């Protein structure tokens, strides 16, 4: 393919290649994840030295697009560059986890690129401004589960599809459970009202600030699914527990 112009991308990973070059992973609005060869990126005199860095959002052109292999970077400009100087320790830990997660998504790119790109961009923005840390991270992990085919039923009972008298979240069955379907209260049922309300909002843009212990409970639940259902283990998860 010839030159492809005006792509929107977020840099999610860099791997050294030869003496001066890198192979970068971009999450793009147009094609999902792509691998891009960036010549000369490691030279401080290179224009891409400050541009191609983790979490930077860029507009760029490729001299070659190869969706199943390696594309070739041509040029780009930054639209958002992160400033880490005033970031809290917790915000840094959340960003670290997000970066690790973005690198481990085993998605085959068959998802709504535009929507996931917006979610990712929004999450980076929230985390790097120290806003809604766990809520933003939880909503992001929820989307990651979703694009990998793990659906949580959070708008009705997972068993009878009734959307009233929800009394718990059944961890083993990936969804809410109503009072008619709840037969025994086992360890796999979460019944804390605040936690349920927070789970209910995972797929919405609404932030609730339900308190860090509630958000951490939800985080642990989502983290559990990443491990159990997708086999994704995140080293940086330990900093957030
Ligand atoms: Zn039910």
Q: Which domains does the chain have, with CATH numbers?
A: 4-80 (2.40.50.140), 89-239 (1.20.1440.120)
Q: How far away, in angstroms, is 163 Cα from ligand 1 center?
A: 8
Q: Which stretches of the chain drop beneath a pLDDT of 70?
A: 1, 241
CB-based contact 3:26 (threshold 8 Å): no
The CA 157 to ligand 1 mean position distance, Å, reads 5
Task: Give the distance (Å) from ligand 1 centre to CA of residue 165.
Answer: 8
**C-alpha of residue 136 to centroid of ligand 1, in Å:** 29
| Nearest of 173, 198, 166, 171 to residue 187 by alpha carbon | 171
CA of 198 to the centre of ligand 1 (A): 20
The rounded Å distance from CA 61 to ligand 1 centre is 51
Please give the distance, rounded to the nearest whole angstrom, from the Cα atom of residue 144 to the centre of ligand 1.
Answer: 26
- pTM of the entire predicted model: 0.93
Distance (angstroms) between ligand 1 centre and the Cα of 29 equals 38
In 3-123 the beta strands, taken as DSSP E runs, fall at: 4-17, 21-28, 32-38, 57-64, 70-80
Residue with tokens 């789970």: 199
What DSSP line would sit under 92-137, residue for residue? HHHHHHHHHHHHH----S-S-HHHHHHHHHHHHHHHHTT-SHHHHH
Rounded to the nearest angstrom, the distance between the alpha carbon of 179 and the centre of ligand 1 is: 7
Closest CA to 142 of 133, 132, 134, 150: 150
Ligand 1: centre distance to CA 200 (Å):
16
Which among 124, 145, 164, 168 has a CA at the least distance from the CA of 228?
A: 145
For 106, half-sphere exposure in the C-beta direction (CA atoms, 13 angstrom radius) is 9
Distance 217 CA to ligand 1 centre (A): 23
Predicted pLDDT of residue 241:
66
**CA of 156 relative to ligand 1 center, distance in Å:** 8
C-alpha of residue 154 to centroid of ligand 1, in Å:
12
């Amino acid at each position: 393919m010839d030159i492809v112009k005006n792509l929107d991308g977020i840099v999610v990973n860099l791997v050294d290649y030869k003496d001066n070059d890198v192979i970068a992973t971009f999450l793009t609005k147009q094609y999902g994840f792509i691998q891009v060869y960036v010549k000369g990126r490691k030279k401080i005199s290179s224009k891409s030295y400050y541009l191609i860095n983790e979490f930077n959002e860029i507009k760029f052109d490729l001299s070659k697009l190869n969706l199943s292999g390696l594309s070739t970077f041509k040029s780009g400009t930054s639209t958002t560059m992160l400033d880490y100087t005033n970031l809290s320790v917790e915000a840094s830990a959340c960003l670290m986890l997000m970066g690790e997660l973005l690198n481990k998504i085993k998605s085959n790119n068959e998802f709504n690129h535009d929507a996931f790109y917006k979610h990712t961009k929004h999450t980076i923005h929230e985390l790097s401004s120290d806003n809604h840390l766990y809520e933003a991270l939880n909503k992001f992990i929820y989307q990651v589960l979703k694009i990998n085919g793990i659906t949580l039923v959070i708008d009705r009972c997972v068993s009878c599809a009734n959307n009233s008298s929800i009394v718990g979240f059944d961890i083993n069955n990936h969804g809410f459970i109503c009072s008619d379907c709840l037969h025994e209260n086992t360890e796999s049922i979460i019944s804390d009202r605040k936690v349920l309300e927070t789970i209910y909002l995972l797929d919405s843009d609404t932030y609730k600030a339900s308190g860090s212990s509630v958000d951490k409970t939800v985080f642990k639940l989502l983290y559990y699914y990443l491990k159990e259902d997708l086999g994704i283990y995140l080293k940086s998860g330990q900093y957030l527990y």
